[in-house]
C-alpha cells in the first residue's frame, strides 16, 4: 500500500481541501454573497464529514496514544459544530456577521489542524505500525465514500 493510504496522510489531505475552500471563501470578497454561500456549503459538508470520520474511526483507534489530546479534539469539534450551525443561520443574509463567524470558524479549524499535524499525527506515526495506519486509512476511505453516496442520494 502506498503511503498516501495511511490514515494520517488521508486526514492531512482533508485538511488541505478544507484550507483550500477557506481560501476560496476569502477570495470571494464583497459583493459575491451567492458564491460565498455556495463555498460555505462545501466547507460545511467537508467539515462535517471530516469530523465524523475522526470521531467514528480515528479517535477511538488512537485514544490510547494521547487521551488528553483526543478529549481536547472532541471539544474543538463541538465548537466547530456550533460555529457551523450559527454560520448556516446567517448565510442566507450574508453580511458582516456571517463573515465574522466564518473568520472565527477558520481560526478554530486552523488551530485544530495545527495541533493534530504537529502533535497527534507524529505520535500516531511513531506508535502505530504502517499496516495498522493503512488499515485505518482504508476504513476512513470506505466510510467517506459511503457518506458521499448517502449525501448524493439525499
Instruction: For residue 153, name the pLDDT band (cuts at 50, 70, 90).
Output: confident
Task: Output the domain CATH number for residue 34.
Answer: 1.20.120.520
Range of the domain at 40: 3-153
**pTM (whole model) above 0.75:** yes
pLDDT of residue 1: 42
Count: domains in the chain: 1
Phi then psi for 30, rounded to 5 degrees? -70, 155
pLDDT of residue 31: 65
Average pLDDT over residues 7-21: 97
C-alpha separations of 33 from 13, 29, 96, 97, 120 in Å: 27, 8, 11, 13, 37
pLDDT in tens, 60-119: 999 999 999 999 999 999 999 999 999 998 887 777 899 999 999 999 999 999 999 999
Cα separation, 135 vs 1, whole angstroms: 10
pLDDT in tens, 32-58: 777 888 999 999 999 999 999 999 999
pLDDT of residue 96: 86
In a 10 Å sphere around its CB, with 0-12 CB exposed, 13-18 middle and 19+ buried, how is residue 107 labelled? exposed
Average pLDDT over residues 1-24: 89
pLDDT of residue 154: 75
Amino acid at each position: 500500500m502506498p503511503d498516501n493510504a495511511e490514515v494520517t496522510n488521508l486526514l492531512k489531505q482533508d485538511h488541505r481541501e478544507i484550507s483550500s475552500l477557506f481560501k476560496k471563501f476569502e477570495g470571494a470578497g464583497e459583493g459575491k454573497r451567492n458564491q460565498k454561500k455556495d463555498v460555505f456549503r462545501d466547507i460545511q459538508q467537508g467539515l462535517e464529514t471530516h469530523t465524523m470520520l475522526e470521531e467514528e474511526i480515528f479517535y477511538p483507534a488512537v485514544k490510547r496514544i494521547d487521551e488528553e489530546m483526543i478529549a481536547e479534539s472532541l471539544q474543538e469539534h463541538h465548537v466547530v459544530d456550533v460555529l457551523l450551525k450559527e454560520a448556516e443561520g446567517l448565510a442566507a443574509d450574508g453580511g458582516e456577521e456571517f463573515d465574522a463567524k466564518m473568520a472565527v470558524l477558520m481560526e478554530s479549524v486552523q488551530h485544530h489542524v495545527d495541533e493534530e499535524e504537529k502533535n497527534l499525527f507524529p505520535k500516531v506515526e511513531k506508535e502505530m505500525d504502517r499496516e495498522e495506519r493503512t488499515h485505518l486509512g482504508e476504513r476512513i476511505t470506505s466510510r467517506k465514500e459511503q457518506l458521499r453516496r448517502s449525501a448524493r442520494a439525499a
